[in-house]
Amino acid sequence: MDQFDLQVTDVVAETALIRAIKLARPHGEPLPSWEAGAHIKVRLPDGNERSYSLINTSLDPAATTRPHAYRLGVRLEQPSQGGSQFMHALKVGDIVQVKAPGNNFPLEPSSKPVVLLAGGIGVTPVLSMATALAAGKRPYRFIYAGRSRDQLAFLGEIEALNGEHLKIHTDDTSGIFDVKGLMASLTDDEPLYLCGPKPMIDAAIQSAKSLGWTEGRLRFEIFATAKPVAGDQSFEVVLNNSGKTFKIPPDKTILAVLIDAGEDPMHDCQRGDCGICQVGVIEGTPDHRDYILTDAEKAAGKVMQICVSRSKSPRLVLDL
């Protein structure tokens, strides 16, 4: 079943801003299986959805192959777009509607030691990866960075599970984490999995380019949704298949406008890092803001991610 109701069975304040929320079927039946890096979508009262990574710290394979609960870590965003406020208001006994797990950030097989880097709430998918690697007795390093120890969620579990594989970095004692320095130190083609704030991911992308990393060696997931940028202008989008025309205001994405109008374009992350909402561009010049396309693909302007990217031209005709 793709969509089902789950009950909140536990809520724990991990830090001042992060809550761990456990969801299960009302009668405890097993839930759909999942693998490290996966997420579920939670339906909000206004009909919108938010994706939250699944957490596992158990070495028992049944914890993910035949789970009886899903565990999430949710940071209260300030200001919030509604998702984190709703999640932080949940109480034991509340019912939420979710979609079955999906995975845009899978842990791929590798003969090399794996390097995991988590920044802040980005620890949620990375922690599950560390658990999977520990359970499989695969070589790995896990670096968990945050502003201070009191802002590091799940720290006790992480330290107990990972032991000597783990390094903790806090900005208040060691300064901002040196992403490029870490990447430059990796000389044996080790893959790097990263989830954290946008500046950390942007630094990693630029470092991968300057260091000449091969495509796919850096894998990442970003939690930040698209935000208006100063100077953004309205533009028109035409759906080629129907001829329908939509005005995209400066403060809304193409995807959001289409959904509000009753269209049903394929999408998932709404952050520009999964590629599911990619569409062909028939006319116009996209303003690419995604993390998927190569520089060559962006220059060609033949496809775009409608969850984050906009238009440099007054009008776009899309293959929809």
Q: How distant, in Å, are the alpha carbons of 8, 63, 93, 194, 263 from that of 71? A: 10, 11, 15, 20, 32
The CATH number of the domain holding residue 157 is 3.40.50.80
The residue behind tokens 């909000």 is 44
Instruction: Please report whether residue 230 resides in a domain.
Output: no
Tell me: do 40 and 134 sit in the same domain. no
Residue 3 — φ and ψ, nearest 5°? -135, 135
Instruction: Please report whether residue 107 resides in a domain.
Output: no
CA-closest candidate to residue 177, choices 220, 126, 118:
118
Q: Strand 49-53 relative to strand 39-43: parallel, antiparallel, unpaired? A: antiparallel
Instruction: Please report whether residue 35 resides in a domain.
Output: yes
CA-closest candidate to residue 153, choices 166, 144, 165:
144
How many domains does one find in the chain?
Answer: 3
Q: What is the pLDDT of residue 315?
A: 96
Q: What is the pLDDT of residues 52-76, one digit of tens each?
A: 999 999 999 999 999 999 999 999 9
Q: What is the pLDDT of residues 70-104, one digit of tens each?
A: 999 999 987 666 789 999 999 999 999 999 999 99
Q: What is the pLDDT of residues 253-265, one digit of tens each?
A: 999 999 999 998 9
Structural domain span for residue 81 = 3-102
The residue behind tokens 């009668």 is 27
Domain boundary among 67, 102, 137: 102
| Amino acid occupying residue 47 | G
Q: What is the pLDDT of residues 185-217, one digit of tens each?
A: 998 999 999 999 999 999 999 999 999 999 899
Asked if residue 269 has pLDDT above 90, the reply is no
Asked if residue 273 has pLDDT above 90, the reply is no
Tell me: do 209 and 246 sit in the same domain. no
Instruction: Please report whether residue 278 resides in a domain.
Output: yes
The residue behind tokens 């620890």 is 123
Q: What is the pLDDT of residue 81?
A: 67
Q: What is the pLDDT of residue 55?
A: 98
Domain boundary among 102, 128, 162: 102
